[in-house]
Amino acid sequence: MNTEVNLHPSSELLNQFIQGELATGRSVVISAHVELCKTCSEKTKELQALAVSSWVDPDSSESSIRKTAGDYSAMIQNIVKEEQIKTEQLPELVTASLGLLDSSISLPRVLAKAAAKGLVWKKVAGGISEAQLPLDNETQCGFIYMAPGCQVPVHTHEGSETTLVLDGSFEDELGKYRAFDFIIRDQNHQHQPISKEGCLCFAVLDSPLTFTSGLARLMNPINRYRFRKAISKYA
């Protein structure tokens, strides 16, 4: 468990995750981060406790929840216990079967389970490979591998791009991202990811990427086509 994760989902997003309000792809990427991040794992349990207490007593204020938190501890322990029972049944690792990597990579169970069904890697461009994982009919989800030294063309988004770094690192104009960081980029961001050491990520897009410079712009119709194809695979 890595305790030095820098970038986390917001409390609002964690709450939407707990309440089951997100498309499967976004739930999976958040669940994977929560499994890897001690901070978010603890925060999620606290938010679950608050959610459970508000289901039990919709009028409860935060102060009364704090006062009566002990009353719910048994209920929370049951929730946690159920999670453990479920996750113990899942494979713990997906290793070199990811195909492109020399070393073994340990994946969060939720991704290992999905990946165990088989990944098909396709080269996208310039050292970037992708193995799509259809999870719902709203988002394009998959593993992205960036070979050392490669970069994605400058792009922006019509919707949002959620990225979880699983191994290695990459950087863009806004920062450097390491293992287990959780990054959201949207129409307010134009960026060019570059990976010096190589990087394996899991990414969830709710709209196609839009390349904004040079010849890469010629790929925009292909990006739109691939997005439509990806979300139609789940239907």
Beta bridge partners of 168: 199
171-179: long-range contacts, CB 8 A cutoff, minimum separation 24: 171/195, 171/196, 177/6, 177/7, 178/6, 179/2, 179/5, 179/36
Nearer to Zn ion, 107 or 219 (CB): 107
Q: Which residue has the tokens 């929840």?
A: 65
40 binds Zn ion (CB under 5 A): yes
d(CA 9, CA 200): 19
Among residues 173, 190, 171, which one has the least CA distance to residue 181? 171
Nearer to Zn ion, 42 or 82 (CB): 42
Least CB distance to Zn ion at residue 40 (A): 3
8 binds Zn ion (CB under 5 A): yes
- If binding means CB under 5 A, how many residues of this protein chain bind Zn ion? 4
Nearer to Zn ion, 8 or 185 (CB): 8
Q: Within 13 A of 66's CA, how many CA atoms are on the CB side? A: 3
Cβ-contact 23, 230 below 8 angstroms: no
From 28, 29, 32, 37, residue interacting with Zn ion (rule: CB under 5 A): 37
Least CB distance to Zn ion at residue 2 (A): 9
Nearer to Zn ion, 39 or 64 (CB): 39
Least CB distance to Zn ion at residue 80 (A): 18
The mark string for 190-209 relative to Zn ion (x by CB under 5 A, - otherwise) is: --------------------
Among residues 153, 147, 140, which one has the least CA distance to residue 218? 153
Nearer to Zn ion, 39 or 232 (CB): 39
Q: Which residues contact Zn ion (rule: CB under 5 A)?
A: 8, 37, 39-40
